[in-house]
């Protein structure tokens, strides 16, 4: 995992990350890249997704309300753009403490972090070699958590592809998303097949269940019935919890994200393939007038 994590990123992303790091001071410990630009290999296509890991929120901000917002509902999400070789490169970056990042992999009930970071990522910058190892360990923990929460949702025998498609589908389904979870999960697994296939055996054999491998890429695991029932209930609860948390994070981004309304509309249009119009009063006062627009888009199936 560490070798994959430390694969170099494009020069433009390094530049972007350096400017983001300077905005949040000496408390920045590491910056991780994930998402669609990483998969496409083109940092100029859309928004580069970055996670900025900080030692302490007090050292990351000058404004006190941002500290409290980050503590109450991590992460805080921001926008930044710069120019590289005459081209504009844009980033959506999230700020989260190392403590919250670690808790999100191991302790959080919802899959917001461990669902995201079970996927391929790149370490753009780290303070020292100790942080490199720490980040790699956190990403392994994310993958292990997703596997542990997914296996009880599968039949007794399955292959590695079904494991990851199911896990990512469940994770995506526990958030407000414009794309269909099942379609997105298949695309992600197909794109990073080698990554997921190589991770699978070690993670499965580390589970506290009897596991055997009857064929190449196929596994059979004995999961107790009560565990299967428990996980089914938990994933239903995650769907409800996740929709609420997604809405709250969406509202918070209106305050932290430059051009927050335009970003939300761009993201909805990008994934739904349709043009979305809102009135000028929604742009001026999204908290007062945005609810009707959100409800209309939800009823039309723009996001789920």
Rg over alpha carbons for the chain, rounded to the nearest Å, is: 20
3-state class of 62 per DSSP?
coil
What are 206's two structure tokens? 């580390």
- Give the pLDDT score at 285: 58
Band (pLDDT 50/70/90 cuts) for residue 296 is: confident
Segment 176-219, tens digit of pLDDT: 876 788 999 999 999 999 999 999 999 999 999 999 999 889 99
- Give the pLDDT score at 246: 87
Residue 4 has pLDDT above 90, yes or no: no
| Mean of pLDDT values over 54-59 | 96
Share of the chain above pLDDT 90, in %: 68
Residue 85: C-alpha distances to residues 33, 42, 71, 204 (Å): 21, 14, 37, 45
Q: What is the dihedral of CA 106, 109, 112, 114, to 10 degrees?
A: 30
Residue 129 has pLDDT above 80, yes or no: yes
- Give the pLDDT score at 130: 94
Greater model confidence, 166 or 248: 166
- Give the pLDDT score at 94: 96
Distance (Å, rounded) from C-alpha 175 to C-alpha 181?
Answer: 9
Distance (Å, rounded) from C-alpha 117 to C-alpha 124?
Answer: 15
| Mean of pLDDT values over 23-50 | 92
For strand 47-54 and strand 87-97, is the pairing parallel, antiparallel, or unpaired? parallel
Residue 156 has pLDDT above 80, yes or no: yes
Distance from the Cα of residue 300 to its chain's centroid: 25
- Give the pLDDT score at 2: 53
Average pLDDT across the chain, whole number: 88
Residue 289 has pLDDT above 60, yes or no: no
For 2-243, CATH number out of 3.30.420.10, 3.20.20.190, 3.40.50.720, 3.30.460.10 equals 3.30.460.10
For strand 122-126 and strand 28-34, is the pairing parallel, antiparallel, or unpaired? antiparallel
Residue 46: C-alpha distances to residues 5, 55, 190, 228, 248 (Å): 22, 29, 21, 39, 24
Segment 60-71, tens digit of pLDDT: 999 999 999 999
Residue 267 has pLDDT above 90, yes or no: no
* Parts of the chain belonging to CATH 3.30.460.10: 2-243
Segment 209-254, tens digit of pLDDT: 999 999 889 999 999 999 999 999 999 999 999 989 988 888 888 7
- Give the pLDDT score at 280: 72
- Give the pLDDT score at 293: 64
Residue 81 has pLDDT above 80, yes or no: yes
Q: Omega before 75 cis (within 30°)?
A: yes
| Mean of pLDDT values over 281-302 | 63
């Amino acid at each position: 995992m560490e070798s994959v994590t430390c694969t170099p990123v494009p020069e433009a992303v390094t530049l972007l990350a350096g400017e983001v790091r300077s905005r949040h001071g000496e408390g920045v410990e590491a910056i991780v890249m994930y998402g669609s630009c990483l998969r496409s290999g083109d940092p100029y296509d859309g928004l580069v997704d970055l996670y900025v890991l900080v030692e302490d929120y007090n050292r990351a901000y000058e404004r006190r309300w941002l500290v409290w917002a980050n503590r109450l509902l991590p992460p805080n999400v921001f926008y930044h753009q710069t120019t590289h070789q005459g081209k504009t490169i844009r980033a959506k970056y999230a700020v989260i403490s190392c403590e919250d990042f670690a808790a999100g992999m191991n302790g959080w009930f919802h899959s917001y972090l461990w669902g995201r970071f079970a996927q391929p990522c790149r370490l753009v910058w780290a303070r020292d070699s100790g942080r490199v190892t720490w980040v790699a360990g956190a990403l392994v923990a994310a993958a292990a958590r997703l596997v542990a929460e997914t296996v009880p949702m599968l039949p007794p025998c399955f292959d590695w592809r079904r494991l990851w498609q199911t896990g990512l589908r469940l994770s995506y389904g526990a958030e407000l998303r414009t794309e269909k979870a099942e379609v997105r999960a298949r695309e992600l697994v197909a794109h990073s097949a080698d990554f997921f296939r190589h991770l699978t055996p070690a993670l499965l054999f580390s589970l506290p269940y009897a596991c055997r491998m009857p064929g190449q890429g196929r596994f059979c695991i004995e999961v107790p019935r009560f565990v299967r029932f428990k996980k089914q209930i938990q994933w239903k609860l995650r769907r409800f919890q996740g929709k609420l948390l997604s809405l709250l994070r969406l509202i918070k981004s209106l305050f932290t994200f430059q051009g927050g309304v335009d970003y939300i509309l761009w993201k909805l249009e990008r994934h739904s393939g349709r043009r979305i119009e809102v009135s000028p009063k929604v742009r001026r006062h999204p908290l007062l007038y945005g609810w009707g627009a959100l409800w209309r888009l939800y009823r039309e199936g723009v996001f789920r």
